[in-house]
Amino acid sequence: MPGETAPDPYRVWLSEVMLQQTTVAAVTPRFERFIARWPTVEALAGARDEHVLSEWAGLGYYARARNLIACAREVAARGGFPDTEEQLRQLPGIGAYTAAAIAAIAFGRRALVMDTNVERVVARLHAIEAPIAESKPRLRELLDMMTPVERAGDFAQAMMDLGATICRPKSPDCPACPLNAGCSAFASGEPERFPAPKRKAVRPARYGVAHWIERSGSIWLVRRPAKGMLGGMAALPGPDWTDEPAPAETALVHVSHVFTHFHLELAVVASDSPTGEGWWQPLDRLVDAGLPTLYRRAADSVLEARSALAA
């Protein structure tokens, strides 16, 4: 909380990485599990890749998990986190925002911590109508004018909390906002109009096939290649995804899944022979396999379809 002793940089780093593209509600229990299992950066650095990836399963954006492992090992090797933005940005997976957040919150450095919530607060204070993606340089200038030299970490956390709880994208609670007297968006009477929504891009479709290979109450799982989409994660076996639909096969189920830059149509088909290097995972311990959301949904859909037929 603001005003307290600066928190452990390991916890700040871990929470900020987890919160990228993921809600606080989803992250909180997973963060607590990570900390319980790996209480220090040295403990995380010593963990096996597959254990970390399995613990990450369901949080999405799996490149974050791979960078998490690489960063933990580099930090442990150098004896701790550096305390400046410039040095922090040299670590795997740490970009401008995360470096600023760690520098300000964990080390008390003056840094411009600008996440989506902060961007929205600044845009409304100054009635900037353009979408945030088109206004970032100007928003950064304005945030620079606001950020204090002392207790920059407290200021950053207060701004993030303000955006998350009061200056919400929809139905902002303007009467409760401590900055409403100087807010141009509030004065306009239409605060939700600022900033304009992001211009939506059309996501292309991709297509995939996954093989359901079952034997004696277990299914055959493989680990995806370390690099690429869902790299290093447990998965149902199958060929590479393509831009064109595969030849029609009798599928057990079809699953649609939205990734950042495309949506995937995955057909799950029954097969007899195990393919690739993998293992037999008991169906009654499927939760322990660390399947990412796509493959967990595919497996659940097959089991639900089977139950419906048996009913």
Q: What is the token pair recorded at 237?
A: 């076996």
Which letter does DSSP use for residue 124 in this model? H
Catalytic residues: 16
Using alpha carbons, select from 70, 46, 66 the residue that is nearest to residue 223.
66
CA distance 231 to 61: 10
Q: Identify each DSSP E strand in the chain by its residue range.
A: 205-212, 214-215, 218-223, 234-235, 253-258, 263-270, 278-282
Using alpha carbons, select from 80, 99, 59, 85 the residue that is nearest to residue 10.
80
**Cα 276 → chain centroid:** 29
Burial (Cβ within 10 Å: 0-12, 13-18, ≥19) of residue 103:
buried
Please count the other Cβ atoms lying within 10 Å of the Cβ belonging to residue 260. 9
Helix (H, G, I), strand (E, B) or coil at 234: strand
